Amino acid sequence: MTAETTTQAELPQEVGKITPGWVMVMVGLGVLSLAGLFAYAQELTTGMIVTGMRDVGTMGGATWALYVSMVVYFIGVSFAGITVAALIRIFNLDHLKPVARLAELLTVVALILGAMAIIADLGQPLRGIINLFKYARPQSPFFGTFTLVVAGYLFASAVYLFLDGRRDAMTLTRYEDNPLRWYHRLWASGYQDSPEERQRHRTASFWLALSILPLLIIAHSTLGFVFGLQVGRPGWYGTLQAPAFVALAGLSGVGLIIVFAAIVRKALSLERQITMRVFSWLGTFLMVLLFVYLYFLVVEMLTLLYATPEVEKRLSDALLFGEYAPLYWASVAALVIPVVALIVMALRSSWSLGWLVAAGVLVNLAAIGKRLLIVVPSQTHGMLLPYEAGSYTPTWEEVGVVIGMLAFGALLLAGFLKTFPGVPLEVEIETEARPEEVAHA
């Protein structure tokens, strides 16, 4: 793409092109989002009584449940997204550049959804936000969750996405028939792609990526400390909580990047840009993360089963043989099946996109299940006081709110891809210039 103005009517990667299929998808996602908003309105007007959450102990329930599980899940997805993008920048992993922006976009959207899940869990969000400023304790892990994860982490990720897109925004302003030229001109913010500007952007992006990585580890470890530092809660208190949170975050995030990249590749006909080499690398990352997390899972279970106190045994029995056993073993199966499939593909050096997408879906279902199993059983079956075991079942309002949030996230992703290229245009140009590499891949 030259710096000269072009009269091409069609923008790259179907930017600005409204098709009947895309409209149907957006309408469907919009309806689900409104249904989630209606469910939340029921909760907001009637109170938290419409949820399945109840006080721990005396009411035999769980005060943290599906919403908190989704907070941890969404922030986990965001962790892997920006990590992949940052590693691509730091180590100059050219073969993964086609999915860098998709990973950045996934991070920003996941953090927005994480903030929404926190608001849904507060019951009275306005009072909760006001009290955060009035009574916040910086030494509390909760304070770190809000400041590092929702505020600083989201801001840094948004800045990273903005810097990464300025060159493409400038390129899109060269199209005379671009109906979104005002938007792209605003994003470009005067960027002219001079050698000095390119060097400045490379330097700024490198140092931003380098600073984001420790922020990611601290932020997500802090989320693990919210659980791991509670000494009076069997199943939570332990040194493995923080690293296990980080491992499962990477697992779910890389899995979702695979699914998202495959959908974008098919929908926008980007087979030449997002090649199977990209998916083979992501599949290898996913396999390594699965090994790490399965190790943590085995260690956690052995700790619960070997010479544990009575309360720990009650918790392990509930997970392995009791009311939580179906969800627990389904989550384990959703981790084991992908790792077996990935090992077979790696040994054969033959990667199947269908199996990779299936693995990405399964590990994300397992991640949601494991988050729920981390949050709930330690409240219903982990009491040190002589209370009866409790139970928790989400109501339709809770499920509706979560489905609405997921639909809203998909709505944001689909909307973005109609206003801006999901794959950097320089990758597209390089691919067109080197077709022999595409054939080899």
Q: How far is 314 from 318, CA to CA, in rounded Å?
A: 6
In this predicted model, what pLDDT tens digit does every residue of 318-357 receive, in sequence order? 899 999 999 999 999 999 999 999 999 999 989 999 999 9
Residue 307: per-residue pLDDT: 64
Residue 428: per-residue pLDDT: 59
With beta carbons less than 8 A apart as the criterion, state whether 252 and 361 touch: no
What is residue 182's three-state secondary structure? helix
Residue-averaged pLDDT of the chain: 86
pLDDT tier for residue 373 given thresholds of 50, 70 and 90: very high
With beta carbons less than 8 A apart as the criterion, state whether 425 and 1 touch: yes
Neighbouring C-beta atoms of residue 327, cutoff 10 Å: 17
In this predicted model, what pLDDT tens digit does every residue of 183-200 receive, in sequence order? 999 999 999 888 898 888
Domain spanning 15-440: CATH superfamily: Formate dehydrogenase/DMSO reductase domain (1.20.1630.10)
Average pLDDT over residues 377-399: 88
With beta carbons less than 8 A apart as the criterion, state whether 276 and 353 touch: yes
In this predicted model, what pLDDT tens digit does every residue of 166-179 receive, in sequence order? 999 999 998 888 88
With beta carbons less than 8 A apart as the criterion, state whether 264 and 353 touch: no
Residue 438: per-residue pLDDT: 39
More confident residue, 433 or 33: 33
Average pLDDT over residues 79-107: 86
What is residue 54's three-state secondary structure? coil
Q: How far is 55 from 62, CA to CA, in rounded Å?
A: 6
Q: How far is 335 from 343, CA to CA, in rounded Å?
A: 13
Both ends of the chain: CA-CA distance in Å?
24
Average pLDDT over residues 108-132: 86
Neighbouring C-beta atoms of residue 257, cutoff 10 Å: 27
Residue 316 has pLDDT above 90, yes or no: no
Q: How far is 171 from 160, CA to CA, in rounded Å?
A: 19
More confident residue, 364 or 215: 364
Q: How far is 305 from 316, CA to CA, in rounded Å?
A: 7
Burial (CB count <10 Å: 0-12, 13-18, 19+), residue 224: buried
Residue 289 has pLDDT above 90, yes or no: yes
Q: Please state the pTM of the whole predicted model.
A: 0.90
Phi, psi of 64 (to 5 degrees): -110, 130
Q: How far is 135 from 437, CA to CA, in rounded Å?
A: 58
With beta carbons less than 8 A apart as the criterion, state whether 26 and 415 touch: yes
Q: Which amino acid is at 358?
A: A
Tokens 């959207």 identify what position?
109
Residue 139: per-residue pLDDT: 66
Classify residue 25 by its DSSP letter: H
CB burial readout 120-146, b (16+ within 10 A) else e = bbbeeeeeeeeeeeeeeeeeebeebbb
Phi, psi of 212 (to 5 degrees): -70, -35
Residue 153: per-residue pLDDT: 77
Average pLDDT over residues 203-231: 80
Residue 440: per-residue pLDDT: 41
Average pLDDT over residues 51-67: 89
In this predicted model, what pLDDT tens digit does every residue of 138-161 receive, in sequence order? 766 567 666 666 677 788 888 889
Name which of 231, 254, 314 is nearest 82 in CA terms: 254
Residue 358: per-residue pLDDT: 97
Residue 413 has pLDDT above 90, yes or no: yes
